[in-house]
Amino acid sequence: MPVYDTREPEGRASFAARLARLRATAGAAEPAYVRAAEAGLAAVRDGGDAAVVELERRWTDPGFRAEDLLIPEQELADAADHLDPRLRDALRRSIDNVRTYQEHIRPEDRPPVRVGDAELGLRWTPVGSVGCLVPGASATLFSTVVMLAVPAEVAGVPLERIAVVHPRPYRREGRPAQDVSEAFKAACGLLGLTRVYRCGGAQAVAALAYGTETIRPVEMIAGPGHPVVQLAKARVAGVCGTDGGFYGPSEVVVVADASADPVRVAADLLAQAEHDPGKCFLVCWDGGVIAAVLAEIQRQLPSLPRADAIRRALAAESCVVRVGDLAAACAVADELATEHLTLAVEDPAAAAARIRHAGEVFLGDATPVAAGDYHAGPSHCLPTGTTARFTSGVSVYTFMKRTGTVAYPGGMSERTIDDVAALADAEGLAAHAASARARR
């Protein structure tokens, strides 16, 4: 990992360039990504199942057929029954934890408030149907099914109206095509999902938004994925709802002080780097801590199966940011506005109070990001590319709508009528004013 000392002009310039690159991932600066997203959307909008099949053949399985799109419900149930019992139990506990947390934060209707002669209220209602984007062409991220479907279900979306799309693994030269993993099928089976489809990329987004012969359109699309997928999701907003976030390549910022355990900090950085591409940032003001963490990375790295991907991520996508003190570290963390923020410092709660922008905050070096990825409760579908500055991760809120209510139980008062009419007249909307005066 390169080390940029922001106390020096050269280090500040290098960090600024890395920050700009990070923001560009969400800004979709790659023209090829834009073209791929738009081509996939147009093909499926016009061609339906046939276009989805053609794109799946290109990317995953040369023998893909329209009949392969829908995974039979019995196949999902069988996978759940035959899953390794230890993994099945861990998956069930993960589901329970996510459900408990989402139920805890689920918003409730508030009693109306009296404002003048009006009673004003707010209702929360779920969207009618949801499409969940589950990445999987380069890794089997079956945990994402839990992190999307459970918040939607807790919001009140019926299970039969929750669709899941998940692609087969990418084609590998000289290797036979592979199916989606049994763990993914089992996760869907344990959740009781029935609309589960083998497809990914922009074609999956298009199928959920526009509908095809096999895949019914949904009212809301949510989930992470490749920048092409995120671009496609943004472009169908309005055709259907979207989660409003850019949930792209995974990231972590670790702010560490002398109290941090270098073994744990290095392990957390390596865990994000293996996403290929993962983006990792160590922010620290102690040269001894930086040296110890870098040494630990070198010690742990050779034993990891995805070591080559990790090396690429650490060299090209990551850096150490050396700052002057904790205050400067928190300012850098806010600039990075990252998906995951670990505060491996002596008083993590006090440090967290200084932070404004992060998808999810992990307090103390005893709390690995992996716990949030799989087990703790909040969804791991989080904003990337510095977009935590203005958006949030997926939760039960993602799948709910707010609707205001207005009532005049005793009728509108003369003063209210006059106020409404005066404001409408001032805007030149005489019929609006007349509609208020008709209430006299």
Binding residues for substrate: 250, 272, 275, 340, 373, 427, 432
Peptide bond connecting 277 to the previous residue in cis, omega within 30 degrees of 0? yes
Q: 274: burial class by Cβ within 10 Å (0-12, 13-18, 19+)? A: middle
Distance CA 189, CA 177 (A): 23
Q: Residue 131 to residues 8, 49, 179, 291, 330: CA-CA distances in angstroms?
A: 48, 17, 21, 45, 36
Are 216 and 161 spatial neighbours (Cβ–Cβ below 8 Å)?
no
- Rounded distance between C-alpha atoms, residue 120 and residue 110, angstroms: 10
Asked whether 280 and 273 are in contact (CB, 8 A), the reply is yes
Query: Phi then psi for 162, rounded to 5 degrees?
Result: -105, 115
Burial 184-214 (b: 16+ CB within 10 A, else e): bbbbbbbbebbbbbbbbbbbbbbbbbbbbeb
Catalytic residue IDs: 339-340
Question: SS3 breakdown of the chain: % helix, strand, coil, rounded to 5?
Answer: 50, 15, 35
- In DSSP terms, which residues pair with 341 in a beta bridge? 253, 361
CB atoms inside a 10 Å sphere around CB 127: 20
Binding positions are: 250, 272, 275, 340, 373, 427, 432
Phi, psi dihedrals of residue 361, rounded to the nearest 5°: -110, 130
111 CB-contact burial (10 Å; exposed 0-12 / middle 13-18 / buried 19+) = exposed
Residues contributing to the annotated binding site for Zn(2+): 272, 275, 373, 432
Distance CA 343, CA 203 (A): 39
**Longest CA–CA separation in the chain, Å:** 81
Give the whole-angstrom CA distance, residue 410 versus residue 181: 62
